[in-house]
Structure 1
Amino acid sequence: MKSATTASRTAVLVCQGRAVADMWDDVGPFSDPTAARLLLDDERVAVDLASDDAPPPGWGLRMEWEMLRATAEVIVPRTVAIDDAVRERVSDQVVILGAGLDGRAWRMTELAGSDVFEVDHPASQQAKRSRAEGMTPAARDVRFVPVDFGRDRLDEALVAQGHRTDGPTTWVWEGVVPYLDRTDVEATMRVIDDLSAPGSRLIVNYQAPSTSAALGRLVMGAMTTLSRRPNPLAGEPTRSTWTAEAMRELLETHGFTVARDDDLLALAVESGRPVRQRRSLANGRVVVADLS
């Protein structure tokens, strides 16, 4: 059973990546001062280590240093792209699906007139609420929506927390789709369709098919085992990848029109920051779609 502060390994890794990037000087418009505050002390130690350009001695520490810096590099363009899409069309309802340790409700001043609905597994939300204690939201309100997808209905859970269908919603679906099979993705899209009023916006981060990405996960697993470090992706295998065409078809089936669909590598190159994680960036995508 998870303790009050135990978040998923993936959520912690992503949050650590944001915290590392927040300490870099050449990340353009990226900023996330909430990331470090949502981490526990031992998790911040790894962040401090990874923020140093010089790798640490020892195989285990070097592995963690490499992993966090690689995560940070991928997180920067992904976060900026999603933040920009949220700012372009601010709704008074923002739903974050699979919120993990997301800090937008606490850092985005543009959400001052928005109610943010954070959807996640009950155990993960317990950890999030404990870690966020004492932090003042930038959003008008933060509403935690616990959903165990094996038992609970997403639509009923959102409505129970006050989500309305008489006005537009901004949906943020980041870092979740790869861990869902296609049936689950399509089921979630049906709920988004049912609960979205005209003017709603959907922002989806997904992975394109890639043999090298699958091999990279296997290599990471082997290297973390050799270094006697926990693999943050263990237990969360990639279950679905999507071509841009297949994702567009899915969204259009539910009435959404794609405004843009960018790969993270192109976004990273545009920022002017040196790019090392070309394969990981090229496989990640962010699509923005609107409901007329």
Structure 2
Amino acid sequence: MSRSLPASRTAVMVCQGRAAADGLIAPRRFADPTAMSLLRPDEREAVEWVRDGLIPRAWQQRIDYETVRANAEVIVPRTVAIDDAVRARVNPQLVILGAGLDGRAWRMPELAGVTVFEVDQPASQEDKRERAAGLSGSPPRFVPVDFGHDRLAEALAAAGHRADRATTWIWEGVVPYLTTAEVAATVTELAACSAPDSRLVVNFQTPATATKLGRVLARLLMASTGRSSVWAKEPWRSTWTPAAMAALLARHGYTVTRDESLLDTARALATPIRHSRSLAHGRVTTADRS
């Protein structure tokens, strides 16, 4: 087996966004009391600045502040859209692909009777276990997978997943970091593990030149602080139109039942919209297998 990748820094940024928004943005629809607990003390500092509305004067700290605030703006509508899709069809099994620092197994009461599996690369999962040690409630079943060598179906089966029972799959914040071929291969694998009535909730990015330029700018701004950008080692590798994603899912027996842009969700939630282009190109698609 090849040497494992290091723990994901993107996962920390996403968790910071959830922690910054908890109880402050769309409080009647969004809450994540696990997020702050999953962060280390130095990672909480920028979160507290955003929560308190304290804009730092120092350049490096200002970049951290703006990054967390922007993440919170995107994460809230994305999380709400996915959570709503999960609640609308509570299946006996839930698999979170590329789980990162996801807190759903602990924070969603609807999952009390559901067997939750978290799939991620080994280093990220080891990091997650350490961070989650203090959380109360039933933890998920951790499924470490080296995607370059391990078969998803085999790893899940070894952890107790049953392919003959309906499964809800959450694929959040992962697709852009995979090539087109890797996305297609993953859909093939999870379809083979999906009994009738299974549901796939997938988050992806649509093609946009402005988004690419924005990520380049973000890398330059981070470089100006003397640090490397998280996107230097975790670049985007694929984008999808809604039609292309629907066609891929249809080839594997899934029918799209809902497709929404994060911008539309944010408007419905009346959440802050400072980065409308970024929100407009993020989507959440729900597809069911009959």
Looking at structure 2, the residues matched to 230 and 153 of structure 1 have their Cα atoms a distance apart, in angstroms, of 32
Instruction: Please state whether the residue corresponding to 2:258 is helix, strand or coil.
Output: strand
- The corresponding residue for 1:111 is 111
Alignment map for 1:172-187 (pairs within 5 Å)? 172-187=170-185
Report deviation, 1:209: 0.3
With the length of structure 2 as denominator, give the TM-score of the two structures.
0.96
Looking at structure 1, the residues matched to 155 and 59 of structure 2 have their Cα atoms a distance apart, in angstroms, of 45
Q: CA RMSD in A?
A: 1.6
Instruction: Please state whether the residue corresponding to 2:260 is helix, strand or coil.
Output: strand
Report deviation, 1:59: 1.1
- The corresponding residue for 2:43 is 43
Report deviation, 1:118: 0.3
Return the letter of the residue paired with 1:205. Answer: N
Looking at structure 2, the residues matched to 175 and 30 of structure 1 have their Cα atoms a distance apart, in angstroms, of 18
Return the letter of the residue paired with 2:285. Answer: V
Report deviation, 1:73: 0.3
With the length of structure 1 as denominator, give the TM-score of the two structures.
0.95
- The corresponding residue for 1:166 is 164
Residue 278 (1) aligns with residue 256 (2): no
Report deviation, 1:27: 4.4
Instruction: Quote the sequence identity (%).
Output: 57
Looking at structure 1, the residues matched to 163 and 180 of structure 2 have their Cα atoms a distance apart, in angstroms, of 26
1:288–1:31 distance in 2 versus 1, CA, 3 Å:
same
State whether residues 119 and 147 of structure 1, in contact with CA within 8 Å, keep that contact through their aligned partners in structure 2. Answer: yes
Unpaired segments ≥5 residues, structure 1? none
Looking at structure 2, the residues matched to 114 and 136 of structure 1 have their Cα atoms a distance apart, in angstroms, of 17
Deviates more, 1:6-15 or 1:259-268: 6-15
State whether residues 177 and 206 of structure 1, in contact with CA within 8 Å, keep that contact through their aligned partners in structure 2. Answer: yes
Looking at structure 1, the residues matched to 174 and 260 of structure 2 have their Cα atoms a distance apart, in angstroms, of 17
Instruction: Please state whether the residue corresponding to 2:163 is helix, strand or coil.
Output: coil
- The corresponding residue for 1:135 is 135
Return the letter of the residue paired with 1:223. Answer: L
Pick aligned residue for 2:285 from 262, 284, 287: 287
State whether residues 172 and 203 of structure 1, in contact with CA within 8 Å, keep that contact through their aligned partners in structure 2. Answer: yes
State whether residues 97 and 119 of structure 2, in contact with CA within 8 Å, keep that contact through their aligned partners in structure 1. Answer: yes
Looking at structure 1, the residues matched to 89 and 25 of structure 2 have their Cα atoms a distance apart, in angstroms, of 28
Report deviation, 1:11: 0.4
1:178–1:118 distance in 2 versus 1, CA, 3 Å:
same
Return the letter of the residue paired with 1:133. Answer: A
Looking at structure 2, the residues matched to 274 and 35 of structure 1 have their Cα atoms a distance apart, in angstroms, of 20
Looking at structure 2, the residues matched to 27 and 238 of structure 1 have their Cα atoms a distance apart, in angstroms, of 31
